[in-house]
Amino acid sequence: MMDDPISFEVIKNALESCAREMSQALRRTAFSPNIKERRDCSCAIFDNAGSLVAQSKDIPVHLGAMPLSVKACIEQVGNEMRQGTMALLNDPFSGGSHLPDLTLVAPVYDGSSRVAFVANRAHHADVGGVSPGSMPGTSTSIDDEGILIRPRVIVKDSELVLDFIDDLLSATRTPDERLGDLSAQVAANNVGSRTLEDLSSKHTWNGILKTFGELMRYSADMMKRTLVPYQGKHAKFADVMDSDGAGTSGIPIKVAVDFADERVQVDFTGTSEQVKGNINCPIASSLSSVYYVFMALFGEGIPMNEGCWSVIDIHVPDRSILNPEYPAAVAAGNVETSQRIVDTTLGALAQIDPDIVPAASQGTMNNLAIGGIDPRSGRAFSFYETIGGGAGAGRGDDGSSGIHTHMTNTLNTPVESLETEYPLRVHTYSIRRASGGRGRWNGGDGIIREIEVLGKDCTVSIQSERRVSHPWGLKAGEPGALGRNILTLKGEVLDLGAKATVNVPSGSIVRIETPGGGGWGKPRSNLGSTQ
């Protein structure tokens, strides 16, 4: 399939290394704990048409979606993207995910010819909107969620131009932090461009560009071969979202999976129309969720690039919660609905080959945002994190406890960092014992995270799921425990439900109990249980 397999392998690994170096540079130079500690960012390399060529091992919901962002930049501001420029966007209706995810795209040139792109996406802790953190629990329009940025050039001569982002810095409650994180994104792209240029001095741009094409063909061929044993198989599955935060509950997601003609068709016909609340999932994130499932189950040993999903045909109805239209609210779609797309697609594939599919994991990212005034400095602060939970068990393995699962690959914020950076105090941070579903192999346990708010004029926002519908078990395995969100306010204990935005006084305590994963197989006797 290739003229020079040795050069192919060398360049392939060098491209992956380049993406990893970008990611390390971004994390090391970022200002916010959400990026530098939790690693809520992703980096990748793209060909001149915007197709993904190589990536760092970062956030699945970012990486599968980023090609649409790069292509949107090419279509909308491509003529302005000269050497030394970079374009910014977060538009969920033009390749973006949700507004806090800012994507920065840089062209790479060989002399006067554009040959590639490098790009990174980072979740910023505040980009404006009705609540600190820009992740309101009850938003009903994209305008509630922050500033929407369509593709625009913000970097010239490899330097950030402040006049080009003055609207962003005016909208956010924490402009210094935003400027620091954006500067880190610029630095990461500069690292990627320089590394590619160094690689071209050893292997020439002709050799690198040839490898781009060979890589995508190689991955497509490997994925096609992996799917051959399933040809002729068909299955359907349905799951639900607990709520949209605006009064609608039990919102269905349905999928049909068909393996035929050396391809696989994934059809979400029958899924709910877009809703008033913020669980509408932008199409880029919806596609990314499906790609993730197939790479997780069938992609071992296959280089990750756009060739991998060239054999996957996905149909998502227009104006559905998986393909919403402007001005739909989408803040929770990228983080919560993406998880349910994974659960639903896995549920269908489990009917075809349950031995390779795990039970449902926690099915949520447990998004928590807290913001207000820091009494230590008198300045605004905005804290955001997602919280891990239980992973679903699989044949032969118990599910892991207290980790981030599926579409998120972040870390929990270290207690030391959280308490140093913000007027917050952690009371409890522990495994939620016995929350995983029992089975022949047991589901992983969730987390208990209890935080006291010490700031002034603070607002707490929560976006979560699996507070009503359990993470399901497989092959007679038991479901994982439901999650809970509890607020202790002036001695009164309140159940916040799955989604909420509330104003709280200093001394209020937020307690998040995250779901466990489902069990796999008929449970053993109590004496044999590990929980």
> 158-217 pLDDT, tens per residue?
899 999 999 999 999 999 999 999 999 999 999 999 999 999 999 999 999 999 999 999
When pLDDT is averaged across residues 284-296 and rounded to a whole number, the result is: 96
Half-sphere exposure of 235 (CA within 13 A, CB side): 16
Of the candidates 84, 85, 81, 56, the residue with the CA atom closest to the CA atom of residue 71? 81
**Which SS3 state, helix, strand or coil, does residue 23 take?**
helix
pLDDT single digits (tens) 36-87: 999 999 999 999 999 999 999 888 888 888 999 999 999 999 999 999 999 9
pLDDT single digits (tens) 348-390: 999 999 999 999 999 999 999 999 999 999 999 999 999 999 9
How far apart CA 448 and CA 252 sit, in angstroms, is 28
When pLDDT is averaged across residues 272-292 and rounded to a whole number, the result is: 97
Q: Give the per-residue pLDDT at 524.
A: 83
When pLDDT is averaged across residues 493-516 and rounded to a whole number, the result is: 97
Q: Give the per-residue pLDDT at 529.
A: 43
Structural contact between residues 384 and 296, judged by C-beta atoms closer than 8 angstroms: no
Share of the chain above pLDDT 70, in %: 98
When pLDDT is averaged across residues 395-407 and rounded to a whole number, the result is: 97
When pLDDT is averaged across residues 262-291 and rounded to a whole number, the result is: 97
Q: Report whether pLDDT(531) > 50.
A: no
Q: Give the per-residue pLDDT at 530.
A: 43
pLDDT band at 528 (very low <50, low <70, confident <90, very high): very low
Task: Give the position of tokens 């040139």.
Answer: 109
Amino acid letter, residue 58:
D
How far apart CA 149 and CA 121 sit, in angstroms, is 14
When pLDDT is averaged across residues 80-104 and rounded to a whole number, the result is: 97
Q: Where are the beta strands (DSSP E) in 145-282?
A: 152-156, 159-160, 234-243, 249-260, 263-267
How far apart CA 454 and CA 436 sit, in angstroms, is 32
**Which SS3 state, helix, strand or coil, does residue 113 take?**
strand
When pLDDT is averaged across residues 115-141 and rounded to a whole number, the result is: 97
Q: Where are the beta strands (DSSP E) in 311-469?
A: 312-315, 367-374, 379-385, 424-432, 446-453, 456-463
Burial per residue of 24-59, b for 16 or more beta-carbon CB atoms within 10 angstroms, e otherwise: ebbbebbbbbbbbbbbbbbbbbbbeebbbbbbbebb
Q: Give the per-residue pLDDT at 63.
A: 84
pLDDT single digits (tens) 432-486: 999 999 999 999 999 999 999 999 999 999 999 999 999 999 999 999 999 999 9
Q: Give the per-residue pLDDT at 1.
A: 56
Q: Report whether pLDDT(257) > 60.
A: yes
How far apart CA 146 and CA 100 sit, in angstroms, is 8
Alpha carbon separation from 312 to 153, 210, 295, 308, 316 (Å, rounded) = 33, 24, 11, 8, 13
DSSP letter string over 52-93?
EEEE-S--HHHHTTHHHHHHHHHHHHGGG--TT-EEEE--TT
When pLDDT is averaged across residues 211-240 and rounded to a whole number, the result is: 97
Element (H, E) at 488: strand 484-489
- Count other Cβ atoms within 10 Å, centred on residue 160: 18
Structural contact between residues 465 and 281, judged by C-beta atoms closer than 8 angstroms: no
Q: Give the per-residue pLDDT at 57.
A: 85
Task: Give the position of tokens 């989408």.
Answer: 330
Cα 336 to chain centroid distance, Å, stands at 9
Strands 263-267 and 249-260, sheet pairing: antiparallel
Q: Where are the domains of the chain?
A: 5-220, 358-531
